[in-house]
Chains A and B, each alone.
Chain A
Amino acid sequence: MVSIQVTILNKQGLHARPATAMVNTAAKFKSEIFICRDEKKVNGKSILGLLVLAAECGAVLTIEAQGSDENEAVDALVGLVTDHFGMGKSS
């Protein structure tokens, strides 16, 4: 299993559009993916799960992946978060 911490940098947090982007990216991998915040742990391939985390700007999340492509999955998701979900630095 691979696990890494990331900080949400988007001004508006992990709202519907970035959450959709995250789910779409996670769905490309065979590994099981979980996103954790404090006590909560949700399926990284579920938009409802991600919304329930209500991760605002500055929230620290742990991305966990387990499976044959776990490294690639975590890299892709970390890249998405650090790139502000491709929405530009002002968002």
Chain B
Amino acid sequence: MTKHEEINSISGLNASKGIVIGTAYVRKLYQETIVTRTMISIGKIEEEMAKLRKAQDMVAEELELVRKKIEKNLGVSYSDIISAQLAILKDQEVFREVQAYIEEHHVNVAFAYKVVVNQYVELLEDHNSEYFKERVSDIRDIKQRVLLALISKQTILSTFTIDKPTIFVSQDLNPADIMMLVSENVIGFVTEFGGKTSHVAILARAMKVPMITGAKEALQHIESGQTCILDADHGKLFVQPSQELLDEYAREINKLDKRDKVFVAAHDKKAVTKDGYTFKLGANISLPFEVADVKKYGSDGIGLYRTEYLYLMKQHLPEEEELFNEYRQVTEGMQNKEVVIRTIDLGGDKMSALWDEDIRFESNPFMGYRAIRICLDKPAVFITQLRAILRSSAFGKASILIPMITHIEQLTESLTFIENVKLTLDKEKISYDKSIKIGMMIETPSAVINIENFVDKIDFISIGTNDLTQYALAVDRGNARVTDVYNHYDPAIIKMIKKVVEAAHLAGIPAYVCGEMASESRALVLFTAMKVDGLSVAPSYIGAVKDQINACKQKDAEQHLLKILKMTTRNEIVNYLDNLSGCS
């Protein structure tokens, strides 16, 4: 919103949108806690070890608290990360080695503990395996917590003032940090590492906490206690801003809050145009607890349930039961409104730590091992997920959406998998919705060009505009040098969407749009004119999109589309759309 370019601003990627004003707390992650070495007499060894036991108990208590919060907010299956940390904390060998070190060198327990744990850190850092290297951060984290408890008798949570709304600045974050901090008055996150699609970003979005990632040198430029404005929408953090800017943002935040309240109050409004054309308006979610938000704003269902999170977050492949419990919460929670569950779209920029390293570090991941390609290559993974989805369909209304299909064989092979899983469930007398609908994502040019051959095999299509744009224009949307190439309003993209929607209608199946474009006000006239059957957007956009639809006239939109189809450049199209007031 602001046009000011303040000197004291830091830029990053918008990982979770929103605007907040708060006090910074800067966590210098790898800064070693200063531990002084003092000599102790032999008689004091027992006393020193008792201190360590007490510190470990303090930390364990805090971790248990975090575990409870995670289990309450996300579900039991997300808490293994804490179990591993607790096992590290309570390692009896470390305890024994610390005691031996004190006996030999007559030093204080904090110093001995640091020496012992650092030896393990060094050993692990030497490994070639990324996985084992990553565990170093868990061990360091535990070390820091224990040293803090030993030296200042404090836990991490008690080290910063939580009476003020806080913007948490750190090098990196893990999901447990986010869960813990959000419940402690932290209202925004800034990290130096990380991209837009890391699992931490997914979590921040689901919890509706603004976050910017990739904010280089943030730790150097911000100090704890400084007032900051976090404008994640524009990927900016303003440090000690002017009063003028603070006032401007305070007004903007107030305006957005009011607007949000209006949307919530109008949750039962329908997504219908002035002349009676009704869209099925769905929500995009990644985690079960978002269902509450979806209901708050009122939608016709879940148009896109992304299922990658559990795979990104866990240190093992999720088991059928874990997946089933997760999906059932959503199908049951939506009370017979349709929930479109997309099978895993891992790969690209969302790589699971579970795959082998040669897969995780592909030179061209968006063209590589991704989504349905992984599922067809790893039948056990695919079947486990399909069983969980089908089982969850007995508790509400689920459908299956298959991502990244490029050729017919992939689709028929996927359909065969689904049929076989159904047969197995029949044999096992496990109930599921026998008329479950199956759809495919349209996100590759080959699927568009060959659309007629796909639509007679499925029940619906869903157009993923982000990937379709990326693949059709051959542009990496994460690459800053070519961002101007990436544009949904290229005539080629509009023609592709139109072709796909017409083919779906000819085959008598609905066409939905679930990419970012679905929530852009300037795109609505296009979708209305094409009679797209449904849109699916982030829960917080539902109210705004309904308002825009309500202001639309389908017949007028058709006229606009005729003109737009004659235009040859994207500039012409964007200018034309921007000059329309809404879509009437």
Contacts and interface: CB of A to CB of B under 8 A. Distances in A.
B197 interface: no
A54 B87 contact: no
A19 B378 CA distance: 25
Contacts, number: 76
5 contacts: A15-B132, A15-B315, A15-B316, A46-B93, A56-B129
Given A16-B315, A52-B120, A90-B380, A45 B80 contact: no
Given A17-B84, A46-B92, 18 more contacts: A12-B131, A16-B80, A16-B315, A17-B80, A17-B316, A42-B93, A43-B93, A46-B91, A47-B87, A48-B120, A48-B139, A49-B93, A51-B120, A51-B124, A52-B124, A87-B319, A90-B378, A90-B384
Contacts of A56: 129
Contacts of A19: 87
B88 A48 contact: yes
A91 B316 contact: yes
B160 to A, nearest CB: 28
B142 to A, nearest CB: 10
Interface string A68-91: 000000000000000000011111
Interface in A1-60: 12-13, 15-17, 19-20, 23-24, 27, 42-43, 45-49, 51-52, 54, 56
B94 A46 contact: yes
Nearest to B94: A48
B56 to A, nearest CB: 14
B181 to A, nearest CB: 23
B394 interface: no
Nearest to A57: B356
A88 B380 CA distance: 10
A17 B93 contact: no
Contacts of A48: 88, 91, 93-94, 117, 120, 139
Contacts of A24: 87
Q: Is the interface of B mostly helix, strand, loop or mixed?
A: helix
Interface in B89-103: 91-94, 96
B347 to A, nearest CB: 17
Contacts of B245: none
Nearest to B379: A90
Contact of A13 (B93, B131, B317): B131
B354 A12 contact: yes
Contact of A23 (B87, B139, B317): B87
Contacts of A51: 120, 124, 132, 135
- 9 A-B pairs with the lowest CB-CB distances in the bound complex, closest first: A46-B93, A90-B380, A16-B84, A43-B93, A47-B87, A54-B132, A20-B87, A48-B120, A52-B123
B91 A87 contact: no
Interface residues of A, number: 26
Contacts of A27: 92
Interface of A: 12-13, 15-17, 19-20, 23-24, 27, 42-43, 45-49, 51-52, 54, 56, 87-91
Nearest to B96: A43
Interface string B342-353: 000000000000
Counting chain B CB atoms within 10 Å of each CB, the highest count among A17, A45, A49, A89 belongs to: A17
B129 A47 contact: no
Nearest to B116: A48
Nearest to A12: B354
A50 B87 CA distance: 12
Contacts of A88: 317, 319
A12 B354 CA distance: 7
Contact of B317 (A45, A49, A91): A91
Nearest to A89: B380
Given A46-B92, A48-B120, A20 B132 contact: no
A49 B96 CA distance: 13
A36 B284 CA distance: 49
A23 B92 CA distance: 10
A54 B127 contact: yes
B507 to A, nearest CB: 36
Nearest to B142: A48
B94 A20 contact: no
B118 to A, nearest CB: 11
Contact of B129 (A42, A54, A87, A89): A54
Given A46-B94, A51-B132, A54-B127, A20 B84 contact: yes
A12 B92 CA distance: 25
Nearest to A85: B316
Contacts of A89: 380
A82 B94 CA distance: 28
A23 B83 CA distance: 12
